[in-house]
């Protein structure tokens, strides 16, 4: 099936999650953030990924209301931060997020990291929010196989999404296979490895062949790998460039060449090293 900016991934509860969206981590200047988000939405982006930690949920709500799109046409994700985890704490954190956003529901709510001794209760609270129809879909972020296994052993509703650090230097194939086997969609954060891949010679050669930038090649690799992807930028031209990945495709050989760049190298912390 041909990929477009409107392509979605069907989650295991039937909800259609956009395959492509805008990540808004570190968008802390209020005016610039709102402007960037409105530019993205009006340019065809149909998903915004925020979190309590990012301190820009208010701006996300403002941008959706200021854009040309209806609220129901933009898929909004947020996450409960580590210091707010636990059952009652998560319910309160969700309420605070919703109030900041100015919405009466979220499309996707995630546990941000698997805080030891807390993430199971956090997920239990997120399940309750789903049962109460305050969230259309639920999941986790930065969870390893053993975290997912623990959750699924007692969950009434297993996670629909696992959002993880993923890029050509960290392809996460075993974890992706585990998620696929359990019908859990995978979203890639830090999809460009915080810019460290932009000078990679294999990627530069592939980009040259297609008349595209390295960033566009990497985003296309994510999409063709059946991943959802949320590149971030506040620059209008780059927001447009990141979405201009639907007029070319990578060959099976090129996909394999990019897969082979894996070094299991992270730009962020390892999920097993997280603390509250």
- The fraction of the chain above a pLDDT of 70, given in percent, is 99
Q: How confident is the model at residue 47 (pLDDT cuts 50, 70, 90)?
A: very high
Name the catalytic one among 25, 45, 54, 105: 54
Q: What phi, psi does 83 have (nearest 5°)? A: -75, -10
DSSP calls for 155-167 = -SS--SEEEEE-B
β-bridge partners, 110: 79, 139
Evaluate whether 235 touches 43 at the Cβ level (below 8 Å).
no
Write out pLDDT tens, residues 168-215: 999 999 999 999 999 999 999 999 999 899 999 999 999 999 999 999
Q: Helix, strand, or coil here: 49?
A: strand
Q: How many CB atoms lie within 10 A of CB 224?
A: 17
pLDDT at 81: 97
CA angle 81, 27, 237 (to 5 degrees): 140
Q: What whole-number distance in Å separates Cα of residue 274 and Cα of residue 209?
A: 41
Task: Look at strands 22-23 and 106-111 and give their pairing.
Answer: unpaired
pLDDT at 275: 81
Residue that the structure tokens 């395959």 belong to: 19
Q: Which helix (H) or strand (E) holds 35?
A: helix 30-42
Q: How many CB atoms lie within 10 A of CB 113?
A: 27
Residue 47 half-sphere exposure toward CB, CA atoms < 13 A: 24
Q: What whole-number distance in Å separates Cα of residue 275 and Cα of residue 117?
A: 10
Q: What whole-number distance in Å separates Cα of residue 240 and Cα of residue 228?
A: 18
Q: How confident is the model at residue 1 (pLDDT cuts 50, 70, 90)?
A: low
95's CB contacts (< 8 A; 6+ apart) are none
DSSP label at 14? S
54 a catalytic residue: yes
Burial of 16 (0-12, 13-18, 19+ CB in 10 A): middle
Q: How many CB atoms lie within 10 A of CB 211?
A: 9
pTM reported for the whole predicted model: 0.97
Write out pLDDT tens, residues 120-136: 999 999 999 999 999 99
**188, 135, 160: which is closest to 20 by C-alpha?**
188
Burial of 174 (0-12, 13-18, 19+ CB in 10 A): exposed
Write out pLDDT tens, residues 82-120: 999 999 999 999 999 999 999 999 999 999 999 999 999
Q: Helix, strand, or coil here: 92?
A: helix
């Amino acid at each position: 099936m041909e990929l477009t900016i409107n392509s979605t991934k069907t989650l295991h509860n039937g909800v259609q999650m956009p395959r492509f969206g805008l990540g808004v981590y570190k968008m802390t200047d209020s005016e610039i953030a709102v402007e960037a988000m409105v530019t993205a939405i009006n340019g065809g982006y149909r998903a915004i990924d925020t979190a309590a930690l990012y301190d820009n949920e208010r701006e996300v709500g403002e941008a959706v209301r200021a854009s040309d799109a209806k609220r129901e046409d933009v898929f909004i994700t947020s996450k409960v931060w580590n210091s707010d985890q636990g059952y009652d704490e998560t319910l309160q954190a969700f309420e605070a997020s919703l109030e900041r956003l100015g919405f009466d529901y979220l499309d996707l709510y995630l546990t941000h990291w698997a805080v030891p001794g807390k993430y199971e209760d956090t997920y239990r609270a997120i399940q309750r929010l789903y049962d109460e129809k305050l969230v259309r879909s639920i999941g986790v972020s930065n969870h390893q196989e053993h975290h997912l296994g623990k959750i699924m052993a007692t969950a009434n509703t297993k996670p629909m999404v696992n959002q993880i650090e993923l890029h050509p230097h960290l392809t996460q194939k075993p974890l992706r296979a585990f998620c696929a086997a359990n019908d859990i969609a995978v979203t890639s954060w830090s999809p460009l490895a915080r810019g460290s891949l932009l000078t990679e010679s294999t990627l530069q050669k592939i980009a040259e062949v297609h008349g595209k930038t390295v960033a566009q090649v990497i985003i296309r690799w994510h999409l063709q790998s059946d991943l959802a992807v949320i590149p971030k930028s506040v620059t209008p031209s780059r927001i447009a460039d990141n979405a201009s990945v639907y007029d070319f495709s990578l060959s099976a050989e090129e996909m394999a060449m990019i897969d082979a760049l894996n070094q299991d190298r992270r730009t962020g912390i390892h999920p097993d090293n997280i603390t509250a």
